[in-house]
Structure 1
Amino acid sequence: MRAGRLLSLLLLLQSRGRLTARELADELEVSVRTVYRDVEALGAAGVPVYADRGPAGGYRLLDGYRTRLTGLTGQEADSLFLTGMPGPASELGLGEVVAAAQLKLLAALPPELRSRAGRIRERFHLDTSGWFRQAEEAPFLTVVADAVWSRRRLRVRYRRWGGPDAEVERVVGPLGIVLKGGLWYLVAEVSGEPRTYRVSRVLDVRDTGEPFDPPEGFDLADFWAGWSVEFERRMYPVEVTVRLTATGLARARCLLGAVAARALEGVVPTGEWTTVRVPVESLDHALVDLLRLGPDLEVVEPLELRERMKGTLEAMVVLYGPSLC
């Protein structure tokens, strides 16, 4: 256990340069006292690590010192080759770069890990697109990704959803790119606020050459997690109350989508019928979706949806004939 921690400490110093004892302790999830002992152990082993004194001080390696030791376990090597699978990297224009990096990593690995890496490529394939949906074209993805990496502002012409002013033009500060369900999104700052743009809806983009500094403390993963929750809340703003049979409850988790499935998670039948509340996009969407559950679902409220369900069923009886009654 300690040997792995010593190696992690060494690689942290090699990759990041000067780090304080507190920063190392936080990264390694140990006490500062443990860091002091580990640094002494590295020095005793011949690693040229030394401390700079003063407010801007910390531990660092002797200039020019590099270790060839990677310390990769078999599972760690496997994970690196999984992240380098074709698809997303190619869409970002990094396919050749990833391939070259894999070759270099293969050359550096010992024979047993090299063999494992080869098996990963043979036996695992990453397909990020959803079922029954054609992959969206995002012709400006590489330009956007380059601006994200270089921190330069972009002038973007974008097609919003519907409305008379669906096409807009914005100068944005790129904060990051997210791949969600096979779709690429640009997170960018506009008027001091982070916003999200679907890259496939970008009609044109130009690099302004103007440098952009992201707001201090911005974390892309944290922003996306919060934005996703808020997006789902906005997309499913209505709740309806329904009664479900045990069969209907089981089928609803499959037929009503992921948001409804989460709302029904943990619900167990309480008798012949179970009353639950289900989030929906709108009453129009609910009418179509809930009819799929047939006699295993009854709408309780809102009354408007219940009446619309009843009217639809009466119209279907007329359409298919009174013999159905």
Structure 2
Amino acid sequence: MRKLLTLFIILSVSIIARAQSDTLSITLENIKYPYPVGFLPVKIEGQDLRMAYMDVKPANPNGKTVMLFHGKNFGGYYWTDVIRAMTNKGYRVVVPDQLGFGKSSKAFIHYSFHQLARINKTLLDSLGIQKITLMGHSMGGMLATRFTLMYPDKVEKLLLEDPIGLEDYRTFVPYNSADDDYKAELKTSFASVKKYYENSYFTTWKPEYDYLVKIGAGVTQSADFPRYAKVAALTFEMIYEQPVCYEFGLIKVSTVLFTGKEDKTIVGKALLSDEEKAKHGQYKILGPETAKKIPGCKLIEFDNCGHIPHIEAKEQFLKALLANI
């Protein structure tokens, strides 16, 4: 009897320990980033906040800096291979976690691309960096576009990797309030994250992508997850209400657009009928259309690739990136 009780206690402790190890804080304290992380103090709406960032310096610098803006469901952790490739070529690489994402503060504020752009400008100024090549993926592409329009003298070149916002979601996605989105976000689970990532980001799922799900879903077990869910709703509202697609023609810097031809990303896709889904989010169409809107834009497309070429088509993407940076 005592042996059975002891075995039960050991199994219980093991299960609890495993559950705790799979639970992430909403600022990812228990996720190790590929390079050291610093923090920029930020004060917004009377709140003392901080923005996390990596500042990776090359062994043999070429005097140029690249800044990387991540997508909505990610943080700086998924840029590892891109950072390595660029630093190996002598580039200094600055990788912020935008406010509300990754290791940065999860603040209840009014989120706007204008404000995020200003914070990133402050970060560059604090690091003494005058000029950058700016690359943005997904939501980061919307932010990179806004940053370039606000601070054209800072940006030598703009690189957009499967940016969202190539169409105005307000014209076909039904409106949801932040409270509506918050209620939906609270239902997030490991299974729902895995299904979304499999169906939305990649053409074929591979085991090496599992870490993205573990990070994306790990926070759902945190006691602070309701705060995380609220911020996710607020940033969804930012994307929905603040389109950049009407301003592509105003971009004056050299631009390269990288797209996976099988990308079918639509912000708010779950709110659409199958008929509406078929009409929108077609990057094999949106990519060429957008490239025509941006003066002198170069379009590079990847066959059999979805929303994240720097992961799904890594070798081809890095080769094209380094050839066009």
TM-score range, shorter chain: under 0.3
If each structure's strand is expressed as a fraction of its own residues, which one has the higher value?
1
Tell me the TM-score normalized by structure 2. 0.21
Between Structure 1 and Structure 2, whose CA radius of gyration is higher?
Answer: 1
